[in-house]
C-alpha cells in the first residue's frame, strides 16, 4: 500500500512539553516515508464533553473518531496522569466507546508510546492495548519512557523500529486478530441475536448487520479479502 495514512495522537493537553518533543521527533522520522501524516493534538483541540447520545448517531462521529477511521496506522503518544491517560483524551475515547465490540478499527495498526516521570506507564500501556484490541485493531507494540531513568535516544529508537514494522505490515496488507477478539465476536453476535429475538431495538444491531451472516471473525476477514 502506497501513500498510507498515519495518525499521530498527542494525548497531552499541555503545549511545549514532552508531548510536543515526541510529536516533533515522530513527524520528522516520517517526513521522508511514503505516507500522509495526520495529527490529533489534544493541546490544540477544544475539550470535548462526554455525549451519552453518541450511540444514536444523530450528530455524526466526532473529529477524533473521524481521524481514527481514516487512518491506516495509529501512533499514540500519551503522558501518564495518576496511572491513567489525561481526562480530556479519556473523553475522546468515551465518545467513541459506542463503537466498541463492533471492530471499527479492524485492519488498522497501532503503536502505543507512554511516558511518565517514575511509574505508571506500563500499566497504561496494558490498558491501551486492551482498549484498541476491543475496537478490532492490531497492536504492533508498546513502549514506555520514564523521564527520571530512561535513555530517551534508546526509547525513540525502539519507537522508530516499531513504526517501521507497522508500515511494513500495512504495506503487505496483513490483517491479524487474537483469540480473545474472536471470542468477543462470538459473544457480541450472540448478544445481538438475543436482542433481536426478544424485539429489543438497539443502534448496535444496525451497525452489526454486516457481521451477522458470518460464524466467526476469521470467516468475515476471509470473505472480505483481508489477509
Q: How many domains does the chain have?
A: 2
Q: Strand 35-41 vs strand 138-146: parallel, antiparallel, or unpaired?
A: unpaired
Q: Are residues 88 and 161 in the same domain?
A: yes
Surface-to-core class of residue 99, CB atoms within 10 Å of its CB (0-12 exposed, 13-18 middle, 19+ buried):
buried
Q: Are residues 146 and 210 in the same domain?
A: no
- d(CA 9, CA 184) in angstroms, rounded, equals 26
Look up the domain containing 193 and give its range: 179-223
Percent of the chain residues topping a pLDDT of 90: 75
What is the arithmetic mean of pLDDT over 96-123?
93
Neighbours of 129 (CB within 10 A): 16
Q: Are residues 145 and 100 in the same domain?
A: yes
Task: Name the phi and psi angles at 30, rounded to 5.
Answer: -85, -5
Spatial strand order of the sheet with 35-41 comes to: 35-41, 4-10, 73-79, 109-116, 138-146
* 30: CATH: 3.40.50.360
- d(CA 24, CA 37) in angstroms, rounded, equals 12
Q: Are residues 110 and 205 in the same domain?
A: no
Q: Are residues 217 and 123 in the same domain?
A: no
- Where a domain ends, among 151, 171, 191? 171
Q: Are residues 55 and 150 in the same domain?
A: yes
Q: Are residues 158 and 101 in the same domain?
A: yes
Q: Strand 109-116 vs strand 73-79: parallel, antiparallel, or unpaired?
A: parallel
Mean pLDDT in the chain?
91
Q: Are residues 122 and 210 in the same domain?
A: no
Q: Are residues 113 and 200 in the same domain?
A: no
Surface-to-core class of residue 170, CB atoms within 10 Å of its CB (0-12 exposed, 13-18 middle, 19+ buried):
buried
Q: Are residues 79 and 183 in the same domain?
A: no
Neighbours of 47 (CB within 10 A): 12
* Per-residue pLDDT reduced to its tens digit, 197-220: 999 998 889 889 999 999 999 999
- pLDDT of 2 higher than 60: no
- pLDDT computed for residue 135 by the predictor: 95
Q: Are residues 183 and 140 in the same domain?
A: no
- d(CA 81, CA 138) in angstroms, rounded, equals 25
- d(CA 123, CA 209) in angstroms, rounded, equals 35
- Where a domain ends, among 132, 153, 171? 171
- pLDDT of 51 higher than 80: no
Q: Mind giving me the DSSP string for 147-210?
A: TTT--HHHHHHHHHHHHHHHHHHHHTT-----HHHHHHHHHHHHHHHHHHHTT---HHHHHTTT
- pLDDT computed for residue 54 by the predictor: 57
| pTM exceeds 0.75 for this model | yes
Q: Are residues 142 and 214 in the same domain?
A: no
Amino acid at each position: 500500500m502506497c501513500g498510507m495514512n498515519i495518525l499521530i495522537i498527542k494525548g497531552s493537553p499541555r503545549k511545549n512539553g514532552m508531548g510536543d518533543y515526541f510529536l516533533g521527533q515522530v513527524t520528522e522520522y516520517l517526513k521522508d516515508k511514503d505516507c500522509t501524516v495526520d495529527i490529533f493534538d489534544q493541546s490544540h483541540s477544544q475539550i470535548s464533553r462526554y455525549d451519552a447520545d453518541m450511540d444514536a448517531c444523530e450528530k455524526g462521529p466526532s473529529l477524533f473518531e473521524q481521524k481514527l477511521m481514516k487512518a491506516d496506522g495509529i501512533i499514540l503518544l500519551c503522558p501518564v496522569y495518576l496511572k491513567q491517560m489525561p481526562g480530556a483524551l479519556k473523553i475522546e475515547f468515551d465518545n467513541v466507546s459506542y463503537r466498541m465490540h463492533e471492530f471499527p478499527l479492524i485492519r488498522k495498526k497501532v503503536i502505543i508510546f507512554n511516558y511518565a516521570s517514575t511509574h505508571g506507564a506500563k500499566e497504561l500501556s496494558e490498558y491501551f492495548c486492551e482498549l484498541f484490541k476491543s475496537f478490532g485493531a492490531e497492536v504492533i507494540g508498546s513502549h514506555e519512557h520514564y523521564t527520571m531513568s530512561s535513555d530517551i535516544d534508546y526509547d525513540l529508537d525502539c519507537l522508530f523500529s516499531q513504526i517501521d514494522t507497522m508500515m511494513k505490515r500495512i504495506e503487505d496488507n496483513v490483517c491479524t486478530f487474537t483469540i480473545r477478539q474472536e471470542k468477543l465476536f462470538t459473544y457480541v453476535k450472540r448478544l445481538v441475536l438475543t436482542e433481536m429475538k426478544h424485539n429489543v431495538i438497539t443502534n448496535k444491531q444496525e451497525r452489526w448487520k454486516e457481521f451477522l451472516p458470518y460464524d466467526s471473525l476469521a470467516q468475515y476477514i476471509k470473505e472480505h479479502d483481508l489477509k
